[in-house]
Amino acid sequence: MIPPIASNFVAGETVDSALGHVEDLNRRGIGGILNLLGEHYDSYEDAAADTEEYIELVEEISARNLKACISVKPSQLGIDISEELFERNFERIVDAADSFVWLDMEDHTTTDATLDVYEKYARETDGNVGVCVQANLVRTGDDLQRLAHLPGKVRLVKGAYDEPAGIAFTDREKVTQIYRDELEYMFREFDGGIAVGSHDPAIIDHAGELYEQYETPYEIQMLMGVREQAQFELVDQSAGEVYQYIPYGSKWLSYFYRRLRERKENIGFAARAIVSG
């Protein structure tokens, strides 16, 4: 059972609890992006088990008629074992899904394989899949030129992985500047399908200004438990749709610690909740 403090960031351990959270969000105008926690599997069985659960999840999303989609990690579908296994498991999920399917982006060693699989299924499903790209990687400017001509959606994030200096921008301000430039490129060159994956108020404002200039449809995506009040306010205030990325599942502990380590505010928030019981 997940302690109350962790349940700010994780929507329970089961499909049912995660979808219950989505139902609440949908009533408040926010869509859900569900992620079953799990990564870096080195066994076929683990990758197969998560694939099966995602298939159950997309079937339930359709059955309950929810405004929701899923986001999967290549390494939970087996990319560390082989790229073929990752693609096979991804294809099974995409075949079962009426709802949209996102691919999270992991460290740079998986970027090529992830983009190749994305491109194949973006074409085959006529755009029912999306992929995340990271502004901290030097290559992303070129990758966006390739992605601009494909159906599907692209989520731009700053990048969560510590990458080597030769291939990545490591200065946070530089990454934010690159993010702004790349977002402008997307609004200018894409027909739609832009997802702004950021909690940064300046970036969210920048997206709003770019929308006024280019009128390219976009959505805003933030994590469960992070700036939630802003998420609810953006439903009315922003031109873009708002989605919340919702992790769930039994492997919640390491994800929760990552959220705490990431920001002092989260630690303070956790400490206050513990003290107040």
**Catalytic annotation, residues:** 104, 155
Specify whether the CB–CB gap between 205 and 228 falls below 8 A.
no
Q: Are 48 and 89 in contact (CB under 8 A)?
A: yes
Cα–Cα dist 34/101, whole Å:
10
Pick between residue 3 and residue 201 the one whose CB is nearest to ligand FAD: 201
Q: Which residues contact 263 (CB under 8 A, 6 or more apart)?
A: none
What distance in Å separates the CA atoms of residue 74 and residue 47, rounded to the nearest whole number?
A: 10
- 3-class secondary structure, 64: coil
Report how far residue 59's alpha carbon sits from residue 104's, in angstroms, rounded to the nearest whole number: 20
Encoded one letter per residue, x for contact with ligand FAD by CB under 6 A and - for no contact, window 79-118 reads -------------------------xx-------------
Residues numbered 173 to 232 that lie near ligand FAD (CB under 6 A) are 197-201, 203, 221-223, 226-227
Nearer to ligand FAD, 161 or 185 (CB): 161
Nearer to ligand FAD, 1 or 165 (CB): 165
- Residue 25 interacting with ligand FAD (CB under 6 A): no
Q: How far is the CB of 228 from ligand FAD (least distance, A)?
A: 9
Q: Is 266 in the site for ligand FAD (CB under 6 A)?
A: yes
- In the complex with ligand FAD, which residue's Cβ is closer, 76 or 221? 221
Is 204:198 a contact under the CB 8 Å cutoff?
yes
Minimum CB distance to ligand FAD smaller for 14 or for 177: 177
Instruction: State the DSSP string of 153-170.
Output: EEEEE---S---TTTB--
258 binds ligand FAD (CB under 6 A): no
For residue 158, state whether it binds ligand FAD (rule: CB under 6 A): yes
Q: Please, what is the minimum distance in Å from the beta carbon of residue 85 to ligand FAD?
A: 20
Angle, helices 201-214 vs 228-237, to 10°: value is 20
Examine residue 168 and tell whether it contacts ligand FAD (CB under 6 A): no
Asked if 241 interacts with ligand FAD (CB under 6 A), we say no
Decide: 103 and 74 in contact? Cβ < 8 Å. yes
Cβ contact 118:143 at 8 Å:
no
Q: Which residue has the tokens 């998986």?
A: 110
Q: Assess 268 for contact with ligand FAD (CB under 6 A).
A: no
Which residues in this chain contact ligand FAD in the complex, by CB under 6 A? 104-105, 132, 134, 157-161, 197-201, 203, 221-223, 226-227, 245, 263, 265-266
